[in-house]
């Protein structure tokens, strides 16, 4: 049977890179985390909104945590008019968490003394940040090996026989991180590719394997049935 590692290597790097990516990666960890949350919320121009927060003096955890949510929302809406109130509330809770546990210094999160698991657990404990979002923050903002497992990825793993249907979130997460040999670049690129494959080919109702980039990695006999 083809291995997940082979498949991840084959699909990573097959999609164009995010044009906004380098301008975000040049920022500090706090703004990188905000960028992840804004992207997840569907904000179209994340860089502009980060600049907006910087110009308003809200680019550090203490300032942002000390700003009422309604004021933060109004500030966000000057560059992202459709952003939802819950996004402002989540950004503020992240800032409060950093103030409480890291003395307001997001740089401390990239200290090797912080294990990847402790970062996943800590960020995942913040209201409004689920496990997959915490893993997205750890991977994209803090540069640690983590993977935000969504339903589409889970379907792909099960249909290829790499994961048991009864496996939980952490088992799926660990399988992918191990399959990528902890490589941040492979994990980030595989996330994009798997999301696209799930959307275009590996739909809930039935897999459309013909022409799918993962077709060469199917188990003998084809995709494992999970929809019955
Ligand atoms: S559509 Fe088929 S080949 Fe593609 S990921 Fe799903 S099960 Fe695999």
Mean pLDDT of the chain, nearest integer: 94
Is the C-beta atom of 10 inside 6 A of ligand 1? no
CA of 138 to the centre of ligand 1 (A): 28
- Residues 108-125: what's their mean pLDDT? 96
Under CATH, to which class is 21-141 assigned? mainly alpha
Phi and psi at 226, nearest 5°, equal -130, -5
Q: What percent of the chain has pLDDT over 90?
A: 90
Is the C-beta atom of 195 inside 6 A of ligand 1? no
Query: How many Cα atoms sit within 13 Å of 170 on the Cβ side?
Result: 4
Burial of 1 (0-12, 13-18, 19+ CB in 10 A): exposed
* 221 DSSP 8-state letter: T
Q: Per-residue pLDDT tens for 95-110? A: 999 999 999 999 999 9
Is the C-beta atom of 156 inside 6 A of ligand 1? yes
Q: Which two tokens stand for residue 32?
A: 């990188």
Q: Is the pLDDT of residue 12 over 90?
A: no
Is the C-beta atom of 161 inside 6 A of ligand 1? no
Q: Where are the domains of the chain?
A: 4-15+147-217, 21-141
Shortest-distance Cα residue to atom 2 of ligand 1: 209
Is the C-beta atom of 157 inside 6 A of ligand 1? no
Atom of ligand 1 nearest to the CA of 212: 4
Alpha helices (H) in the chain, listed in sequence order: 4-11, 21-25, 29-40, 46-55, 61-65, 69-76, 85-102, 116-124, 131-136, 151-159, 169-179, 184-200
- Residues 184-200: what's their mean pLDDT? 94
- Per-residue model confidence (pLDDT) at position 90: 98
Q: Per-residue pLDDT tens for 25-53? A: 889 999 999 999 999 999 999 999 999 99
Q: Per-residue pLDDT tens for 54-89? A: 999 999 999 999 999 999 999 999 999 999 999 999
Confidence of residue 226 (pLDDT cuts 50, 70, 90): confident
- Per-residue model confidence (pLDDT) at position 23: 72
CA of 165 to the centre of ligand 1 (A): 16
pTM for the predicted model, two decimal places? 0.94
Neighbours of 164 (CB within 10 A): 12
């Amino acid at each position: 049977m083809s291995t997940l590692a082979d498949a991840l290597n084959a699909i990573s790097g097959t999609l164009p890179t995010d044009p906004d990516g380098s301008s975000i990666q040049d920022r500090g960890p706090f703004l990188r985390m905000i960028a992840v949350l804004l992207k997840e919320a569907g904000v179209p121009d994340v860089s502009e909104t980060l600049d907006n927060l910087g110009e308003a003096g809200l680019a550090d955890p203490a300032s942002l945590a000390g700003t009422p949510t309604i004021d933060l929302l109004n500030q966000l809406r000057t560059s992202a008019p459709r952003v939802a109130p819950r996004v402002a509330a989540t950004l503020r809770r992240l800032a409060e968490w950093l103030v409480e546990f890291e003395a307001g210094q997001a740089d401390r999160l990239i200290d090797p003394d912080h294990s990847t698991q402790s970062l996943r657990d800590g960020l995942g404990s913040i209201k409004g940040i689920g496990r997959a979002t915490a893993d997205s923050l750890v991977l994209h903002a803090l540069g640690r090996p983590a993977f935000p497992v969504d339903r589409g990825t889970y379907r792909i793993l099960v249909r290829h026989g790499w994961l048991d249907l009864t496996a939980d979130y952490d088992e799926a997460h660990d399988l992918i991180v191990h399959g990528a040999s902890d490589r941040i670049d492979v994990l980030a690129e595989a996330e994009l590719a798997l999301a696209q494959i799930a959307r275009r080919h590996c739909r809930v109702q039935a897999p459309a394997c013909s022409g799918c980039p993962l077709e060469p990695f199917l188990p003998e006999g084809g995709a494992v049935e999970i929809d019955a």
